[in-house]
Amino acid sequence: VSNAGVGMAGPLECQSLAAMQSLMDTNFFGLVRLVKEVLPDMKRRRGGHIVVISSIMGLQGIIFNDIYSASKFAVEGFCESLVVQALRFNVAISLVEPGPVMTEFETKLYEEAERADYSRTDPETAEIFTNLYLKSSKDVFSSLGQTPEDIAEHTLRVIEAPRPPFRHQTNVAYTPMAALKHADPSGALITDAFYKLVFKYDTVLRFSL
């Protein structure tokens, strides 16, 4: 089970390339290093199961999570490319895709975001992030967030499945989001929906949450 991960949220201009590279080194290359270690022996034995804790943000990018989403997209693409070869050797690969999870990981991330310096971006972007995104994120976590124990139970079900699924989303609240993306290959539908939720109907969004 590959579960290492770090987060990053905020305006792109305020994040250093060094911090971005460090995040990718953990979230993506950490997984690659692990798979390179375990896969050869699994192929020799013609049996094994690699379970990767990904994220719903590996399926859909979320505003102000540009680099974190990119790392999870990389994880998803890596596993999607590898799974067919792995199946030839009777090795299963499963992606567990949670939405928000209520842990110290997220609490620390948002506490740091509230204290960060946003002078390197324009005032409008800083305002959107601090007064719109951070407030909405707290509402999302309090209403849709899962516990670590819940994610562990989902992961256990994936491990014990007679035919392990390639993808397993842990939160049904995010099923419509994934469906919207697949419904319109041009991307216009999901982009328009998210734009309106963030910039036009944010009050309705928070109320509904």
Residue 100 lies in a domain: yes
d(Cα 89, Cα 5) in Å, to the nearest integer? 28
pLDDT band with cut points at 50, 70 and 90 for residue 204:
low
Q: How many domains is the chain partitioned into structurally?
A: 1
Residue 16 lies in a domain: yes
Looking at the chain, the whole-number percentage of residues with pLDDT higher than 70 is 96
Q: What is the CATH number of the domain that holds 59?
A: 3.40.50.720
Q: Select from 53, 70, 65 the least CA-distant residue to 110.
A: 65
Q: Which helix (H) or strand (E) holds 94?
A: strand 91-97
Q: What's 136-196 look like in SS3?
A: HHHHHHHHHCECHHHHHHHHHHHHHCCCCCCEEECCHHHHHHHHHHHHCCCCHHHHHHHHH
Q: Select from 152, 151, 135 the least CA-distant residue to 143.
A: 135
**Over 80: is that where the pLDDT of 196 sits?**
yes
Both tokens assigned to 117? 């310096």
Residue 67 lies in a domain: yes
Q: Select from 181, 2, 169 the least CA-distant residue to 97.
A: 169
Task: Name the DSSP class of 101.
Answer: B
The pLDDT of 61-85, averaged and rounded, is 96
pLDDT tens digit string along 154-171? 999 999 999 999 999 999
Residue 207 lies in a domain: no
Residue 151 structural domain:
12-173
The pLDDT of 39-54, averaged and rounded, is 98
Residue 169 lies in a domain: yes
How far separated are the first and last CA of the chain, in Å rounded? Answer: 32
Residue positions annotated with a catalytic role: 68
**Over 80: is that where the pLDDT of 19 sits?**
yes
Residue 47 lies in a domain: yes
Residue 201 lies in a domain: no
